[in-house]
């Protein structure tokens, strides 16, 4: 495909934005176009996790994959075949999400891009009157998450975050047991992300491959030379695009820890760590220990270990909760282990009154999203954008403390660091025109 000049690119951006505004004007209030029929889904980002999105929506009777979006054109043929073989028709393909948003057959956008595109893709979709399923972490920085919440509320959109544990019956049961007091009053939770991360090596810079629209891939990030290590996975370990494993795998466990504690954002955070064991092009730490302090003294501690390590009470990727009468450990299978100190036994599960915990929706996270797109009931979402924002913000707070090398004081009401200009600068980023998350969404 012929590359366009910057002048032509900006001109097309303005035209697309005008088309998006027109779409918003003419959409019925509170309804996605065609919501009473089949929901047309555009999947944005179709490499690793995006393939799972495609397969999940294909399985849902009320959904249809009508468009694929990716700046890497080499992926289109194989992904289209996936859809066509199972769905019977071929989806449209777009390099640019703005072109897909102008497609009247698209009712919802499912975003599985690198982290730095999550917020802008979501906000543009909301402005275009589309509902959104966005992968975790929902944002690249704290300000972006708050703007996503504002966009969902302003345009009355259904926005689900891909923290699938919120739909897992075993996790819901574990949380219900904690809330019912099975291990007594909670005073601390620990999230664990002990996931092996090998060296990504040193590959240097190169010319972008001809099938990749490098300008679109960069999006909100500042312009920089293409590196083979960026595409398609190792972008996770570069600050411009990823959020460390704290925000990658760890946000799942962070979300569960915060959920179990019934907390929002803390008043203190301190994170230390480093990139240990090898020297490569990666910028982010492979080892982190973050401590979050809440106003009432409750603690949330998170550990990332990317090198060989032992487990903790049977969990390597999971959570541990500590109460006045015992502890609970849950790994990836989330069949909780309960322990007591022997001085007194807490109530057994059979003795507890377990009130339902979590959303009212289907245990399939994608089905839950589609159900809510049809019903327009945001309250039935298992992982609404506000919950996703708060959990992602915890990860961002840890990364900010790590990058500054010091403990920070945070105001959860304003989502700022009082009197700390250096830290407040890291609440956002310098955006590259025209890929800007605006102050007014």
Residue ranges and CATH numbers for the domains of the chain are: 169-198+234-352+384-424 (3.30.360.10)
pLDDT band at 3 (very low <50, low <70, confident <90, very high): very low
What pLDDT shows up at residue 35?
Answer: 44
Half-sphere exposure of 28 (CA within 13 A, CB side): 8
pLDDT band at 37 (very low <50, low <70, confident <90, very high): confident
Helix or strand (DSSP H, E) at 405: none
What pLDDT shows up at residue 28?
Answer: 36
Please give the share of the chain, as a percent, with pLDDT higher than 90.
80
Q: Torsions phi, psi of 299, nearest 5?
A: -115, 145
Asked if pLDDT for residue 33 goes beyond 70, the answer is: no
Averaged pLDDT of the chain: 90
Per the model's pLDDT, the better-predicted residue between 6 and 180 turns out to be 180
349-387 core/surface letters (b: 16 or more CB in 10 A; e: else): eeeeeeeebbbebbebbbbbbbbbbbeeebebbbbbbbb
What pLDDT shows up at residue 432?
Answer: 97
pLDDT band at 360 (very low <50, low <70, confident <90, very high): low
Rounded Cα gap, residues 334 and 241, in angstroms? 30
SS (H, E, C) 272-299: EEECCCCCCCCCCCCEEEEEEECCCCCE
Asked if pLDDT for residue 17 goes beyond 60, the answer is: no
What pLDDT shows up at residue 251?
Answer: 98
Asked if pLDDT for residue 16 goes beyond 50, the answer is: no
Please report, for residues 102, 112, 120, 374, the alpha-carbon distance to residue 16 in angstroms, rounded to integers and kept in the order given: 7, 22, 15, 27
Per the model's pLDDT, the better-predicted residue between 28 and 325 turns out to be 325
For tokens 């590359």, name the residue. Answer: 3
Per the model's pLDDT, the better-predicted residue between 108 and 6 turns out to be 108
Least confident of 130-144, 335-349, 358-372: 335-349
Asked if pLDDT for residue 32 goes beyond 70, the answer is: no
Spatial CA neighbour of 24 closest among 147, 148, 125, 153: 125
Asked if pLDDT for residue 117 goes beyond 50, the answer is: yes
Asked if pLDDT for residue 31 goes beyond 80, the answer is: no
Report helix, strand or coil for 250: helix
Asked if pLDDT for residue 97 goes beyond 90, the answer is: yes
Asked if pLDDT for residue 126 goes beyond 80, the answer is: yes
Asked if pLDDT for residue 1 goes beyond 60, the answer is: no
Spatial CA neighbour of 301 closest among 171, 184, 188, 137: 188
Asked if pLDDT for residue 18 goes beyond 80, the answer is: no
pLDDT band at 9 (very low <50, low <70, confident <90, very high): very low
Mean pLDDT over 405-431 rounds to 98
Asked if pLDDT for residue 324 goes beyond 80, the answer is: yes
Asked if pLDDT for residue 149 goes beyond 90, the answer is: yes
Per the model's pLDDT, the better-predicted residue between 7 and 401 turns out to be 401
CB 118 within 8 A of CB 138: yes
Q: Torsions phi, psi of 197, nearest 5?
A: -130, 110
Rounded Cα gap, residues 288 and 274, in angstroms? 7
Mean pLDDT over 369-377 rounds to 96
Reading the block at residue 13, the tokens are 């951006």
Per the model's pLDDT, the better-predicted residue between 314 and 108 turns out to be 108
What pLDDT shows up at residue 255?
Answer: 98
Spatial CA neighbour of 389 closest among 427, 358, 361: 427
On the question of a cis peptide bond just before residue 137, with omega within 30 degrees of 0, the verdict is yes
**CA R_g for the chain:** 22
User: What does pTM read for this prediction?
Assistant: 0.91
Rounded Cα gap, residues 53 and 215, in angstroms? 24
Asked if pLDDT for residue 358 goes beyond 80, the answer is: no
Helix or strand (DSSP H, E) at 190: strand 186-193
Which tens digit of pLDDT belongs to each residue from 215-270? 999 999 999 999 999 999 999 999 999 999 999 999 999 999 999 999 999 999 99
Rounded Cα gap, residues 90 and 81, in angstroms? 7
Spatial CA neighbour of 68 closest among 89, 127, 137: 89
Mean pLDDT over 283-288 rounds to 98
pLDDT band at 351 (very low <50, low <70, confident <90, very high): confident
């Amino acid at each position: 495909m012929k590359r366009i000049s910057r002048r032509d690119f900006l001109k097309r951006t303005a035209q697309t934005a005008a088309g998006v505004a027109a779409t918003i004007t003419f959409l019925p209030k509170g309804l996605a176009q065609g919501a009473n029929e089949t929901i047309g889904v555009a999947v944005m980002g179709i490499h690793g996790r995006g393939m799972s999105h495609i397969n999940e929506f294909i399985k849902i009777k009320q959904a249809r994959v009508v468009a694929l979006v990716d700046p890497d054109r080499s992926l289109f043929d194989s992904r289209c075949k996936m859809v066509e073989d199972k769905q019977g028709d071929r989806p449209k393909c777009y390099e640019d999400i703005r072109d897909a948003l102008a497609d009247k057959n698209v009712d919802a956008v499912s975003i599985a891009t690198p982290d730095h595109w999550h917020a802008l893709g979501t906000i543009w979709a909301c402005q275009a009157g589309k509902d959104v399923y966005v992968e975790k972490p929902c944002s690249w920085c704290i300000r972006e998450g708050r703007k996503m919440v504002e966009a969902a509320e302003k345009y009355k959109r259904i926005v689900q975050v891909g923290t699938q544990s919120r739909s897992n019956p075993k996790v819901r049961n574990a949380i219900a047991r904690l809330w019912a007091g099975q291990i007594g009053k909670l005073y601390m939770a620990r999230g664990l992300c002990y996931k092996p991360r090998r060296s990504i090596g040193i590959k240097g810079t190169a010319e972008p491959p001809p099938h990749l629209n490098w300008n679109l891939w960069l999006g909100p990030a500042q312009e920089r030379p293409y590196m083979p290590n960026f595409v398609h996975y190792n972008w996770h370990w570069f600050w411009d695009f990823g959020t460390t494993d704290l925000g990658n795998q760890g946000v799942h466990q962070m979300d569960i820890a915060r959920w179990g504690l019934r907390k929002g954002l803390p008043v203190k955070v301190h994170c230390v760590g480093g990139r240990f064991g090898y020297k490569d092009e990666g910028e982010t730490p492979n080892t982190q220990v973050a401590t979050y302090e809440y106003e009432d003294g409750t603690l949330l501690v998170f550990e990332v270990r990317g090198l060989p390590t032992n487990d903790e009470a049977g969990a390597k990727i999971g959570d541990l909760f500590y109460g006045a009468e015992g502890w609970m450990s849950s790994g990836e299978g989330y069949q909780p282990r309960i322990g007591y100190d022997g001085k007194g036994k807490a109530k057994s599960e059979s003795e507890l009154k377990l009130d339902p915990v979590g959303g009212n929706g289907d245990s399939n996270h994608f089905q839950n999203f589609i159900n809510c797109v049809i019903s327009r009931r945001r309250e039935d979402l298992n992982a609404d954008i506000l919950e996703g924002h708060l959990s992602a913000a915890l990860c961002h707070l840890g990364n900010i403390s790590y990058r500054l090398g010091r403990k920070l004081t945070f105001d959860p009401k304003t989502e700022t660091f009082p009197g700390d200009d250096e830290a407040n600068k890291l609440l956002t980023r310098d955006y590259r025109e025209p890929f800007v998350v605006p102050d007014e969404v």
